[in-house]
Amino acid sequence: PFLAALPDGEAWRSLRLSESDPKDLSGFTWSAGGEEWTLQRDGVVWRRDGAQDATVDGGAVDAFLAEVAGLLAAGFRAEDAGEGAVEVARLELRRGDGSAERLELLRGPNVDLVRIDGEPGLREVSADVHDLLGRLRPFGPPAAE
């Protein structure tokens, strides 16, 4: 059931799904659809799996991370609201200070949910969240100049 009154005000952050500032991220791992890949920031350049020769379109990565930073939940749900839901994507954001934040997108029969590490319960989210996180969006190499 929807939690109108939060059970523990200290346990829930806000409706924002991510508290990470995209500028502070050193890398992230995204898995969806049976695939997984990692991007790491090397100064101002993003590289796939940290490889020196695998730069990707930094503008596309920055736009994606800005979208993630703007995602909001529609509400809070008890953990049992996720019964029968299937994990369809996972995003782990790593900050420059070594800390990380992990979001797990769950697709249920009637609602999409996100589980955030360290928080009780789940967050109900709109289909826009599934469209952004649930579909693998590979970042290709930057356009030739």
51 HSE (CA, 13 A, CB side): 9
CA 41 vs. chain centroid, Å, equals: 17
Task: Write out pLDDT tens, residues 12-56.
Answer: 567 899 999 999 999 999 998 888 889 999 888 999 885 667 889
CA Rg value for the chain: 16
Task: Write out pLDDT tens, residues 83-114.
Answer: 999 999 999 999 999 999 999 999 998 899 99
The 8-class DSSP code of residue 99 comes to -
| Band (115; pLDDT cuts 50, 70, 90) | very high
Residues 6+ apart with CB under 8 A from 63: none
User: What is the residue-averaged pLDDT of the chain?
Assistant: 85
Residues 6+ apart with CB under 8 A from 141: 54, 55, 56, 57
Looking at residue 24, what is its pLDDT?
95
